[in-house]
Amino acid sequence: MALVWLLACPPENPSKESVPKESPDVDSPDPTDDSDSQVQESREDSPVDSPEDSPVDSPVDSDPPPPVHPKVILFIGDGMGFRHVEAGSIYAYGGVGLSNMETMPYQGRITTASVSGVTDSAAAATTMATGQKTVNGYLGMDQNAQLVQNIRELAASRGFSTGIVTSDTLTGATPAAFMAHVDSRGEAEEIASQIALDTPDVILGGGKPVMETALAGYNADFLYTQTDLLAWQYDGDPVVGLFGTATLPYVADGAVDIPSLAEMTTLAIDHLSNDANGFFLMVEGARIDHASHANDGLRVYPEVAAFDEAIGVALAWAATQDDVTILVTADHECGGLSYTGSTSVDTTDWRWGLHSNADVPVYGYGTPAAVVDGQRLPNSWIYAVLRAAVTDSAVQAPAQPLIVDGDTADLGAPITTQLWDSSYGLGYNQLDAMRVTSTSGGLWVGLDGIFEVNNNAVLLLVDMDYGLGTGMGADTSLSDTTGLLDSTISTVSVEAGLSGLGFDVVLGSIGAQEVFRENQGTDSAGLRALTVDPTNFAWIPAISNFDDGNLSNYAPATGGAAADAGATGTTTGGFEMQLSWSYLFPNGIPATGASFALVAVLINNDGTDISNQILPPQAVEDAVADGTLSVDSVVVVEVDASGALVANPVVEP
């Protein structure tokens, strides 16, 4: 096959000078443009490809622009954060910054939160494939479960060849987001049947049993081993590679006769580049995520290295071509990885075995990718860049819905700000401002500040019926010691200095642990309500998230202040949460509306020491008794029966 030589003797990767950094061409979104939800015009109808339709008064000596045949490749390292890339480069090349992806000309950061808070692969991949933020578990659907055209379908509608390559099963969440539309990522048979109805020209991965059944009778070159793949010759037929019953084996396990990700990428490019119209290809390094869930450093670094080898194949090929756009990114970070060592990975530490809300890298090649350079952008921008490359148009800035991502600025201006330097250490624990808004979906609260991973707690105390005087600080004494957060809350003694104040709900997090759909029952974080037993808290669902730059001591091996730490009262972003009306008021918000009183506080893990970081701030800096929270000021929020704000929230008194 034409590209096999690249694996044996890869040319040098393009340096930062290999693609000039041009000013990105970015357009604002066109509110009337619904093209992404409808079938696109054929490529033959596009003005880009129809120079013969130029206006009749064009100068007779002007040459029509050459036809554009975009070649667009997206690499997704599933679960791959910045530390994964760095440590993978150390593992493979002996130092940071030496991997193929790290030498690409355009480099930035991507935020990954979904409608559910911390994202899963399905929601993240769907956003990159469609530009729509969605609910965890949804594939090819927006948050209202409406089908949305993906970038592969758009490319195919314009006459492009398309391909999907993965080390996961082909029905796995990330590849499926580019081929299917379902409201549950677990529907493997339905996903496979949809793939069979609209099969890319090249699909290579695992999941042989379900895919073989779905593709029975399909006219294609079927490959089952590395030997098959290396012997393949282009004949114009589609290619289906099924290299395992489930996921492909870990690289570190040394599987026999299983192709590498680089070899699969080579075949995909070799096949797709025969199409003169152009092509779109997505390549996923899936097992980075799997090894990270298992906190398995011995397996995760070889997976990053194998992913980077595939990127090297594409970059070497791109250096010989025109009209190539390559993006490399991740759907999310997994595990909260940190490491020590500069020439070899000496130690590996993990925060936990779940996804995190940490930023992930994005690397770009080709003019449309210039918009990511030096920027921190939501992952919907990945689709914006891909769409611009596929349609040979300007990059359009995507709309960003209100989601729980830790970026609190979209909740409005602060209602109250901190007066005092933190007694828990500047740069490690601060509670700087509270922002509040309300929508038909629920009450949104943002606490700007700095939060220490694995240490100390933040509590948001909520009085749902301000004026009645029931709950914590009024007529209720708690005695719930089952569970870490419950015990911490119950240890705190609340003294309400305002008439009619008593807290019915507490949203808390110990050690900056997020609350999202998959971990509603975590012991260290969540929303508790006095709904069943008036002396004990019960779980009710909520979503919370911490912004990456507002977490301190994120790397357990090295420590350190938060990246975005500022002087007390000036930090923006931090702890964001949504309290859903459907759970706060199961029978609906009362027809007369509701009045809330809010207080936020930073405390130690067991609730025995309350810091001076209280919002609204206290009148004097040290007016805190050990283990006792004296509340003499609150943020008051009033909503009508629809959940809309009656007036701007205020501080009382």
Q: How many CA atoms lie within 13 A of 371 on its CB side?
A: 25
Tell me, yes or no, whether 574 lies in a domain. Answer: yes
* Alpha carbons 70 and 279: distance in angstroms, whole number: 7
Q: Which of 351, 371, 396 is the last residue of a domain?
A: 396
- What pLDDT shows up at residue 563? 86
Domain that residue 590 falls in:
408-652
d(CA 176, CA 169): 9
Asked, for residue 36, whether it belongs to a domain, the answer is no
Q: For residue 518, what pLDDT is reported?
A: 66
**383 and 415, same domain (yes or no):** no
pLDDT at 562: 87
What's the confidence (pLDDT) of residue 42?
Answer: 29
Q: Which residues are catalytic?
A: 121
320 and 419 together in one domain: no
Question: Are 366 and 455 found together in one domain?
Answer: no
Interacting residues of 307 by C-beta distance below 8 A, sequence separation 6+:
75, 77, 80, 88, 261, 285, 288
User: Are 353 and 426 part of one and the same domain?
Assistant: no
pLDDT of residue 471: 87
Question: Do 391 and 424 share a domain, yes or no?
Answer: no
CB atoms within 10 A of CB 24: 18
The answer to whether residues 488 and 457 touch, using CB atoms and an 8 Å cutoff, is yes
Could you write out the DSSP letters of every residue in 570-619?
T---EEEEEEEHHHH-TT-S-TT-EEEEEEEEEE-TTSS-EEEEEESPPS
Show which of 396, 426, 450 is a domain's final residue: 396
Its sign, for the CA torsion 483, 485, 488, 491, is: negative
pLDDT along the chain (653 residues), means of 10: 32 32 39 34 30 34 67 98 97 97 98 97 98 98 98 98 98 98 97 98 98 97 98 97 96 96 98 97 98 97 98 98 97 95 94 94 98 98 98 96 96 96 85 97 96 93 92 82 86 92 93 80 82 75 93 69 84 95 93 97 92 92 77 97 97 96
* Residue 14: inside a domain: no
Domain boundary among 343, 368, 396: 396
Here the CATH number for the domain that contains residue 109 is: 3.40.720.10
Considering the domain architecture, whether residues 552 and 462 belong to the same structural domain is answered as: yes
391 and 512 co-located in one domain = no
Residue 337 and residue 189 share a domain: yes
Q: How many domains does the chain have?
A: 2
Do 372 and 448 reside in the same domain of the chain?
A: no
Residues contacting residue 249 through CB under 8 Å, at least 6 positions apart:
255, 258
At residue 432, the pLDDT reads 96
428 vs 550: CA distance, rounded Å: 9
CA 319 to chain centre: 30
Residue 434 sits in the same domain as residue 374: no
Regarding whether 344 and 487 lie in a shared domain, the answer is: no
